[in-house]
Chains A and B, each alone.
Chain A
């Protein structure tokens, strides 16, 4: 099997994508953050760094809670997606 990127892997999952974002970043804190633990820790690679700006794409989120735990600056505001939306595992 050829190695697959996280994006390739997420593309086979079933999601019901909501129009509302369920994770918000406190951008002022993120801009001053040097570590950006969220970038590598997120198993769905939802966090991207461009320049000094971190962005979060919620569509592929697996709702595991990693970002909330690894951010030691409390910059991740984690609300669960609206019921029925988000990842919908078919195997689990």
Chain B
């Protein structure tokens, strides 16, 4: 007879590792299953980890986890075809403990996180795939993996955006392209000194640089550049339903972004090291599946726990927090030896009391607002045109700035639209 585990966690990303680590720390017999050759082998993201969830488990994680650079600067650019209107924010505070965020490469980071699960007493099985759920009297009682039946009191699905297990448990339907953004990314190698010189960085400092603009051809989405130690993570994240409708490849938008004159100078001479793609659930609360069933919980991207606020697209911090909340629920259920739906409902309570469901509720209108195509084309064009006119000195008599703004807006955005958009900003973000 196979050993029965207290809990089986499927997927060794941030949600799964946080969950399995918390369970193992509490002394539960925990199995973490990962289908990649190692934890992280199937995982990618833009590249930055923000927020305090990881520090709850590892108060000084930056000393042991393979983080790349500490994000000290946030740059935002609005790009028209040849111009860029950029802002940058930095504060000394972001460079001091406990730090605000780090650029991170997942193949290294997830592997580290899974190694901590093992150190805490959990069993990590990779590569192994959970093909199906085991059922017993209407409740989930384990997983089928690698041809074996592995029984457990509870299964926690942290198997990512495409969660096969959440579908098999009947908690989730097939995803719709309307609720999904597609991300494609290149890791571009450059010498450390070149990165530091180009981005005005020293030591372990890093930049998170987000851009929106005409390069997405009106498709909701944008681009990012994160500085790693000796590489840049460069990618675009765009609405899948629009890509499909307009028959555009995300890669061609990425190429358009990379060849923008303001962007290209930062990438020059770099060597492509990897090309990756991933889906992101972006409709927030409205697409969230039911989070639990008898003997079964869902966390992280599998539960669509991604926050989209316009300036922030945050998944990993939510994944870690939801993985921890799932673990706390299982620990409490184990004490009562009750894994019924009623007992596991504690999961939703913990999430409601913390930031995860509160933030998703606060920003529940943001995903709708961010589908407004004017944000990605007309506004960037307007700002770039106005700035160019304000700064241009061509020997001709000047106009007042207000007149320039008014002229630049004409034919792009009507006053009525502007007012509507401002009202929506107030309501949604």
Interface residues of A (CB under 8 A from B): 1, 3-4, 6, 8-10, 12-13, 16, 37, 40-41, 43-45, 62-66, 68-70, 80, 82-84, 86-92
Q: How far is the CB of A73 from chain B (nearest CB, A)?
A: 12
Determine the chain A residues whose CB is within 8 A of the CB of B243 once the complex forms. Answer: 40-41
Per the bound structure, the CA–CA distance linking A35 and B249 in Å amounts to 15
B191 lies within 8 A of chain A by Cβ: no
Binary contact track B263-282/A, C-beta < 8 Å → 1, others 0: 01001111011111111000
Q: How far does the alpha carbon of A29 sit from the alpha carbon of B204 in the complex, in Å?
A: 53
Q: Which residue of A lies closest to B175 (CB)?
A: A69
Counting contact residues on chain B (CB < 8 A from A), the size range is 35 or more
Tell whether, in the assembled complex, residue B41 and residue A4 are in contact, meaning their CB atoms are under 8 Å apart. no
Interface centre among B41, B44, B128, B267 (most CB of A within 10 A): B41
Cβ of B277 and Cβ of A64 under 8 Å apart?
yes
CB contact under 8 A between A40 and B110, given known A65-B161, A80-B35? no
Asked whether any CB of chain A lies closer than 8 Å to the CB of B187, the reply is: yes
B194 at the interface (CB under 8 A from A): no
Q: Is B162 an interface residue (CB 8 A)?
A: yes
Nearest CB on B from A22, distance (A) = 11
Closest B residue, CB atoms, query A81: B35
A40 neighbours in B (Cβ, 8 Å): 243-244, 247-249
A80's partner among B129, B176, B182 (CB-CB below 8 A) is B129
**Chain A residue nearest to B180 in the complex (CB):** A69
Q: How far is the CA of A44 from the CA of B45 in the complex (A)?
A: 16
Instruction: List B residues 242-298 near A (Cβ within 8 Å).
Output: 243-244, 247-251, 255, 258-259, 264, 267-270, 272-279
Give, as a whole number of angstroms, the nearest-CB distance from A51 to chain B.
19
Residues of chain B within 8 A (CB-CB) of A66 are: 182, 240, 277, 279
In contact, A43 and B182 (Cβ under 8 angstroms): yes
Contacts of A68 in B (CB 8 A): 162, 174
List chain B residues, Cβ under 8 A from A63.
42
Pairwise interchain contact B279-A89, C-beta atoms closer than 8 A: no
From A1, A45, A91, B107 is in contact (CB under 8 Å) with A91
Which residues of the partner chain B approach A12 to less than 8 Å between Cβ atoms? 272-275
Cβ 8 A contact of A9, one of B129, B146, B186, B259: B186
Residues of chain B contacted by A62 (CB below 8 angstroms): 275-278
Leading 4 A-B pairs by shortest Cβ distance:
A92-B106, A84-B127, A83-B127, A9-B275
**How far is B42's CA from A87's CA once the two chains are assembled, in angstroms?**
7
| A86 partner residues in chain B, CB cutoff 8 A | 42
Q: Which residues from A are CB-within-8-Å of B45?
A: 92
Q: How far is the CA of A10 from the CA of B239 in the complex (A)?
A: 22
Nearest-neighbour CB distance to chain B for A7, whole angstroms, equals 10
Binding site for A on B (CB under 8 A): 35-37, 40-45, 105-110, 126-129, 146, 161-162, 164, 174-177, 180, 182, 184, 186-187, 231, 233, 240, 243-244, 247-251, 255, 258-259, 264, 267-270, 272-279
Are A88 and B36 within 8 A (Cβ)? yes
Closest to A88 in B: B41
Q: Decide if A41 touches B164 in the complex (CB within 8 Å).
A: no
Known: A1-B270, A82-B129. A70 touches B240 (CB 8 A): yes
Judging by beta carbons under 8 Å apart, are B272 and A91 in contact? no
User: Considering the chains assembled together, what is the distance between the CA atoms of A44 and B109 in angstroms?
Assistant: 24
Chain A residues contacting B176 (CB-CB under 8 Å) are 69
Rounded to whole angstroms, the CA-CA distance of A69 and B248 in the bound complex is 16
User: By CB atoms of chain B within 10 A, which of A13, A65, A68, A92 has the most?
Assistant: A92
Query: CB-nearest residue of chain B relative to A43?
Result: B277
Q: What is the minimal beta-carbon distance from A77 to any residue of chain B, in angstroms?
A: 13
Residues of A within 8 A of B264 (CB): 1
Given contacts A1-B268, A69-B177, 20 further A-B contacts (CB under 8 A): A1-B270, A3-B255, A3-B258, A3-B259, A6-B251, A13-B274, A41-B243, A43-B249, A45-B249, A62-B278, A65-B162, A65-B175, A66-B240, A68-B162, A83-B127, A83-B128, A84-B127, A89-B43, A92-B45, A92-B110
Q: A63-B42, A66-B279 are in contact. Are A89 and B274 (CB under 8 A)?
A: yes
| Cα distance, A69 to B105, chains bound together (Å) | 27
A40 to B182, CA, bound (A): 12
CB-CB nearest in chain A for B231: A91
Expressed in whole angstroms, the minimum distance between the Cβ of A49 and any Cβ of chain B is 13
Q: Are A37 and B244 in contact (CB under 8 A)?
A: yes
Q: Are B251 and A89 in contact (CB under 8 A)?
A: no
Q: Which residues of B lie under 8 Å from residue A64 when comparing CB positions?
A: 182, 277-279
